[in-house]
Amino acid sequence: MNDAPSTRIKFWGVRGSIPTPGPGTVRYGGNTSCVEVRAEGEIIILDAGSGIRLLGQSLQHEFGAAPINLSLLISHTHWDHIQGLPFFLPAYERRNELRVFGYDGTRARLGEILAGQMETPFFPVSMAAMPGKIEVEELREMDFHIGEVRVRARFLNHPGVCVGYRIFTRAGSVAYMPDNEPFEKLEEQLRNRGADNTGHHYKAPAEERADLVEFLRSADVLILDAQYTDEEYQGHIGWGHGCISSVVSLAAAADAKRLILFHHDPNHDDAMVDKIVEKARMQMAQLGKSITVEAAQEGSEIILQAHGSAAALLA
């Protein structure tokens, strides 16, 4: 038996913008952003898109009547990252504790935004009426701990306030960058965003990219926004999302060990995601890198072992 520490990463929602159920997305999945990380006795949830509903059902089945202690890291408060929270079953049990972490939403505080989506006329049950012990903490520090797990945060290039997280465990590190646009055309992006350009004050594009590369340096698993093809991106500058070439270039510069393409466009069916993966792998090879490239798939798992290798286990 291998008693070495391990970290388990499971994908519950991998889609961007809006849930996309249907025959065309069965293989990669249609639920929006939600990733579960288990390490050092902690259960850490990355974002609360529609995928968190399935995670909640799984946790209820696993733990039964036993209490569950959970930590939820919110990258930002756009709908595809928070609208699954009202359907998260563990939050409806008094015995369970849910600590929600995130950063200042600029126009409204994090707790107000999460509670606001559950107010009349949007939802029949208020957040205050959820029986579980829910604590919302608006962070100021960009480096903190959840138990023995170290977490670092960094502001990303996305309209409003959005952060990415890097989680460090004894088995390795996981970087989660769900919504991030390349910095090369930053001035044009900010012009296109207009009033949505709030919160974070950016440095020069080259400095921002260099800082991001260092933030991601040698990540064992890099989960990165790859919503657009390069051609599609030209019509979406300023929307806050990545494209194939920028994602591959970033992972290569950071010497990540494994690149997971994430936040699939709702207009991309399984066949299109296959083509994007093929294109990304080809570009990575052209850069002379042997980094593993895959698309995030709902229900799939990655296990990091303490020696640093990762083995994929498909559910």
CATH number of the domain that residue 308 is part of: 3.60.15.10
| Ramachandran bin of 149, using left for φ above 0, alpha for ψ from -120 to 50, beta for the remaining angles | beta
Per run of 10 residues, the mean pLDDT along the chain (length 315 residues) is 83 98 98 99 99 99 98 97 98 98 78 94 95 95 96 94 96 98 84 64 89 98 98 94 98 99 99 99 98 99 77 38
Residue 201 counted as domain residue: yes
In this prediction, residue 191 carries a pLDDT of 79
Residue 234 counted as domain residue: yes
pTM equals 0.94
Tokens representing 9? 């990463």
Alpha-carbon distances of 145 from 58, 94, 167, 306, rounded to whole Å: 25, 25, 9, 19
254-310: per-residue pLDDT in tens?
A: 999 999 999 999 999 999 999 999 999 999 999 999 999 999 999 999 999 986 444
Alpha-carbon distances of 131 from 45, 67, 90, 136, rounded to whole Å: 20, 13, 9, 15
Alpha-carbon distances of 79 from 20, 144, 213, 290, rounded to whole Å: 14, 26, 28, 36
Q: Per the structure, how many domains does the chain have?
A: 1
In this prediction, residue 196 carries a pLDDT of 55
Residue 1 counted as domain residue: no
Residue 301 counted as domain residue: yes
Residue 131 counted as domain residue: yes
In this prediction, residue 249 carries a pLDDT of 98
Residue type, 16: G
In this prediction, residue 309 carries a pLDDT of 46
In this prediction, residue 188 carries a pLDDT of 80
| Domain residue limits at 283 | 6-314
Strand order across the 172-177 sheet:
143-146, 149-155, 163-169, 172-177, 221-225, 258-262, 292-295
Residue type, 117: Q
In this prediction, residue 201 carries a pLDDT of 74
Cα(220)–Cα(256) distance, integer angstroms? 6
